Chain A
Amino acid sequence: MDRGRRVSPGRRRLLQAVSIGVLVAAWELAARAGWVDPLFVPAPSAVAGAFRVIGPEAAGVLGETLGKTLVAYALAVALGVGAGLLIGGVRYLHDVLNPFLVALYAMPKILILPWILLAFGLAATPAVVYGVLQGFFPICLLVAGGVRDIDRTPLLVARSMGATSWQLYCKVVLPAVLPAVLAGMRLGIVFCLLGVLVVEMFGGIRGMGFLLVSLANAFRAPELFAATALVSVLSVGVVLGLERLNRRLGHWR
């Protein structure tokens, strides 16, 4: 409990890597010794081998999924940031619409999924629509909250010095809401990818979600693990990248 000195970043990273290495080694050992059924839990070495088997197929399929995710993400960010700036900036709008936004955010979007597939068919459209639906609300709420929380003093100072409302917006408001926008973007990408994957799993005939489900149904555990790891690593990489960008922009401000 006694925090005292903190662990140095280099040592922390080393300990993290060692822990993960030990975990993977233990897993390999358990699989080799036959403590776990390889039909359900394949050894890490078998998973690594499976990468070569599904690699080319998975790469193509992943590209397709990422394409849909990027379209959904662009739309969700544009709509979410726009709506968030508007709702956060205009008090009356916020007071009237906030309960609706919170309720829609809390609603499990999965309940509308069957209808979206029915209405938009089985091509890329339902995945994009559902991805936007997943990503829009967290981005919008975060940005609206960020606009409402900005410090009013610089606004007053700038106004008393004769700044026009356009200058006010560009020089004071935008830099102040940038952290909230970036936080929304970081959260939004995970939600968008999740939405696209769910649609592909549920009703897709192509894409990474579909590949995952069909590998599970075919009991191809090593390939399933490899594909899951691929999506996971990619997703963590994107989120960490956005976080780093966020920090760098923080320095710049």
Chain B
Amino acid sequence: MRRIVLARIAVLAGLLGGWELWASRRDPLLYVPPSRVWPALGRVLGLDAYPTLVTHFGVTALEVIVAYVLAVGLGLALGFALGLPRHVGEIYEPILSALYAIPSVVWYPSLMLFFGLGPASKIAFGVLLGFFPVVLAVLAGIRSVDPHLLTVARGFGAGPGTCFVKVVLPAITATLLAGLRAGLALCVVGVLVGEILGARRGLGYLINYAYGLFRTADYVALALLALVLVLVIDGAAAWAEGRARRWTEGAA
């Protein structure tokens, strides 16, 4: 184990070192070695270069939160509406899977037309991306419910409500949690893609702005910041997933 960790550190060091050597001999406008990223990161985080960083960050965070709430709400509603009645899911799930096979970004221009260049189009794109994993997870989860369990529960006199809470929900929790986590990751990506493709505020806008001014080191620093945001959100989602899973398994 220790040897593997050492090897990983060596790979990382090799990558950073190689990048440093390679980049420092090239056009500084295009290639930013790590040694120039650190000062840029300090400038960006110290709010010297971009005093409005916090505002832009807040705009992005708000867009992600709104998009995720809408995506989960719509996804759960449609998923249960299609999955719970007999046979309905069987008919519509292939259509949803087929829609999921379309490269999502083709919808973005239409969303831009509907919602303009403001936050609404970013939220809409985040919803569009985050919605599919949630719906598909609900449908897949319901499909995996053992029909014998339902028959037995009903035989013991359980009503539809009891069946849902005691049989369906515990059976779909694991699939649903994975879908919720994938949906969150895609919501974040959707908002960032929307902002980079054209916005006036937000982290993606700031990244574009720095790049447009050829402040390449700042651009790398801002992109790293966005990457950390993504990793932190996904880490938090993984933690929440683990907690929720343990909690439901304890209850079952």
* A interface residues with partner B (beta carbon < 8 Å): 1-4, 6-7, 12, 15-16, 19-20, 40, 92, 95-97, 99-100, 103, 106-108, 110-115, 118-119, 190-191, 193-194, 197-198, 201-202, 209, 212-213, 215-217, 219, 221, 224-225, 228, 231-232, 235-236, 239-240
Given A1-B150, A100-B11, A201-B105, residue A110 in contact with residue B110 (CB < 8 A): no
By the criterion CB–CB under 8 Å, are A3 and B103 in contact?
no
With contact pairs A96-B11, A115-B211 given, residues A2 and B227 touching in the complex (Cβ less than 8 Å): no
Report whether A19 and B103 are in contact in the complex, using a CB–CB cutoff of 8 Å. no
Determine if A2 and B150 form an interchain contact, defined as CB atoms under 8 angstroms apart: yes
Contact of A239 among B95, B101, B110, B188 (CB under 8 A): B101
Given A15-B91, A107-B230, A108-B230, is A212 in contact with B109 using a C-beta cutoff of 8 Å?
yes
Question: Are the CB atoms of A213 and B103 closer together than 8 Å?
Answer: no
Contacting A at CB under 8 A, from B134-151, are 142, 145, 147, 150-151
* Residues of chain A contacted by B99 (CB below 8 angstroms): 236
How far apart are A157's CB and chain B's nearest CB, in angstroms? 31
* Interface pair B106/A232, CB less than 8 Å apart: yes
* A–B pairs, 22, beta carbons within 8 Å: A4-B86, A6-B90, A12-B91, A99-B8, A100-B12, A106-B230, A106-B231, A108-B188, A108-B189, A110-B192, A111-B207, A111-B226, A115-B30, A118-B211, A197-B106, A198-B197, A216-B110, A219-B113, A235-B101, A236-B101, A239-B98, A240-B98
Closest CB in chain A relative to B223 CB, distance in Å = 4
Q: Mark B205-216, 1 if CB is under 8 A from A, else 0.
A: 001100100001
Question: A111 contacts B110, CB within 8 Å?
Answer: no
Pair B101/A190 contact, Cβ less than 8 Å: yes
B165: CB under 8 A from chain A?
no
Segment 106-128 of B: residues with Cβ below 8 Å from A? 106-110, 112-114
The answer to whether A7 and B87 have CB atoms under 8 Å apart is yes
Q: How far is the CA of A3 from the CA of B192 in the complex (A)?
A: 41
Q: Inside 8 A of B12's CB, which chain A residues have their CB?
A: 100
Contacts of B185 in A (CB 8 A): 106
**In the complex, given contacts A12-B91, A110-B192, what are 8 additional A-B residue pairs having Cβ atoms less than 8 angstroms apart?**
A1-B168, A7-B91, A100-B11, A225-B110, A228-B106, A231-B106, A236-B102, A239-B98
A118 CB contacts on chain B under 8 angstroms: 30, 211, 216
Residues of B close to A209: CB separation below 8 A:
105
A193 CA to B101 CA, complexed, in Å: 11
Interface centre among B101, B163, B193 (most CB of A within 10 A): B101
Residues of B at the A interface (CB closer than 8 Å) are 4, 7-8, 11-12, 30, 84, 86-87, 90-92, 94-95, 98-99, 101-110, 112-114, 142, 145, 147, 150-151, 163, 168, 185, 188-189, 192-193, 196-197, 204, 207-208, 211, 216, 219-220, 223, 226-227, 230-231, 234
CA distance A2 to B101 in the complex (A): 29
Main SS class of interface, B:
helix
A19–B112 touching, CB < 8 Å: no
Given contacts A20-B95, A224-B110, contact A108 B30 (CB under 8 A): no
Q: Is A231 within 8 A of B102, CB to CB?
A: yes
| Residue of chain A at shortest CB distance from B12 | A100
Residues of B within 8 A of A119 (CB): 30
User: A96 contacts which of B8, B107, B234 (Cβ < 8 Å)?
Assistant: B8
**Do A194 and B219 form a contact, CB below 8 Å, given A2-B147, A2-B151?**
no
Residue in contact with B192 in the complex, picked from A12, A108, A201, A235, CB distance below 8 Å: A108
| With A2-B151, A96-B11, A232-B106 as contacts: A107 and B227 at CB distance below 8 Å | yes
Give the distance to chain B from A141, nearest Cβ to Cβ, in Å: 14
Distance from A194 Cβ to chain B, minimum over Cβ atoms (Å): 4
Do residues B92 and A115 form an inter-chain contact, with CB atoms below 8 A? no
List B contacts of A96 (CB < 8 A): 4, 7-8, 11
